[in-house]
Copies of this chain bind each other. A is one copy, B any other.
Amino acid sequence: MAVTIKDIAKKVGKSTTTVSRALHDHDDISPETKELVRKAAAELGYRPSILAQRLQKQRSDTIGFILPPFGPRYFDPFISEFLAGIGNTAARNGLDLLVSTHPPGESEMNAYREKVHSRLVDGLIIVRTRLKDPRIDFLLEENFPFVSFGRVENQQDFMLVDEDGELGMRLLVEHLLSLNHRRIAVIAPPTNLTFTLHRLKGIREKLNEARLELDDDLVVHGDLTNRSGYEMASELLRRSQPPTAIVACNDLMAFGAMSAAQEQGFVIGRDISITGFDDIPMAEHSHPPLTTVHQPIYQIGARLCDMLINTIRGIPVKERVVLLRPELIIRQSCGAVP
């Protein structure tokens, strides 16, 4: 059906070897032959069978990405940008991107095992790391190329990019302290996620430095969705002693919190201050615009992908652990306590 090098070989009266080498521009083929072969290939509409090349080369030229959906509706504002970051980088390097979805849990490791053993991908990209992350343990053990967006607790001899969430929170809390906030509540993400640890640590330590304590009663946990931000904030604000500021650990929960506050008649930035983390595009256009910490998701994806590609190609990566310096974005969702 499809045109193969055999067809070209027949047409130009040469061997398939010669054709193959001509097409790859090897320098042991005469210019005339090359020309001849190229023309024939073009005329016949030849397209190499990538599959055959891959089988022969024993490389898949493909990067795998298993996205762990969160919550019931799979809504994740990160994904599109992150995907673009890795997708574009992979494409620029002639690699394909194989994507699948698999929630954390029971069968998760099967999904990873299968990807690794099928030899359908040359490397994997991990996101949303947990404190103890079986995916990373497994890949390390298998000695399979991978990079990770996020750290884990016990291991660190692998390539990763992460934002310095601790510093990000320090900047944020510093800002809140300068506005005289003392009763600061936190809507934290699930505790098994690594970045939760860092963010809480940043908050706690910055407060301690100001001789303040993070009140455990004011730390609640959400699941990173709008809804949970809404629910947690609703509860916090109905207390007899509501906080003057709510630090939500991601923008989505911050939006939920803003909605809850407004519903209860609070004016955000005056009666209550609310902060987010991530700086998704929407943060700029919420009402009021959200004070948050910027994460360059696209760049993180691109950088990770670059590291992985180099590794796959055997090029040593100098910086194996990249910790990005976060940027505080001050908008109007925080105001001074009288």
Q: Which residues of A contact B (CB under 8 A)?
A: 2, 47, 49-52, 54-55, 60, 62, 67, 69, 73-81, 83-85, 87-88, 90-91, 96-102, 117-120, 225-227, 229-230, 252, 255-256, 258-259, 262-263, 280-282, 284-289, 298
Which residues of the other chain, B, contact A83 by a CB distance below 8 angstroms?
67, 74, 79, 83, 99, 101
Query: Do B285 and A259 have beta carbons less than 8 Å apart?
Result: yes
The distance from the CB of A38 to the nearest CB of chain B, in whole angstroms, is 17
Dominant SS among interface residues on chain A: helix
Give chain B residues whose Cβ lies under 8 Å from the Cβ of A282. 75, 226, 252, 255, 282
Residues of B within 8 A of A49 (CB): 55, 119
Q: Are B298 and A285 in contact (CB under 8 A)?
A: no
Are B47 and A118 in contact, CB atoms less than 8 angstroms apart? Answer: yes
Among B52, B84, B226, B256, the residue within 8 A (CB) of A55 is B52
Copies of this chain in its oligomeric complex: 2
A259-B285, A284-B227, A285-B259 known; A99 and B79 CB under 8 Å?
Answer: no
Across the interface, which residues of B come within 8 angstroms of A96, CB to CB? Answer: 98, 100, 120
CA distance A258 to B120 in the complex (A): 47
Is the pair A226, B99 in contact by a Cβ cutoff of 8 Å? no
> In whole angstroms, what is the CA distance A305 to B288 when docked?
40
Instruction: Report whether B74 and A77 are in contact in the complex, using a CB–CB cutoff of 8 Å.
Output: no
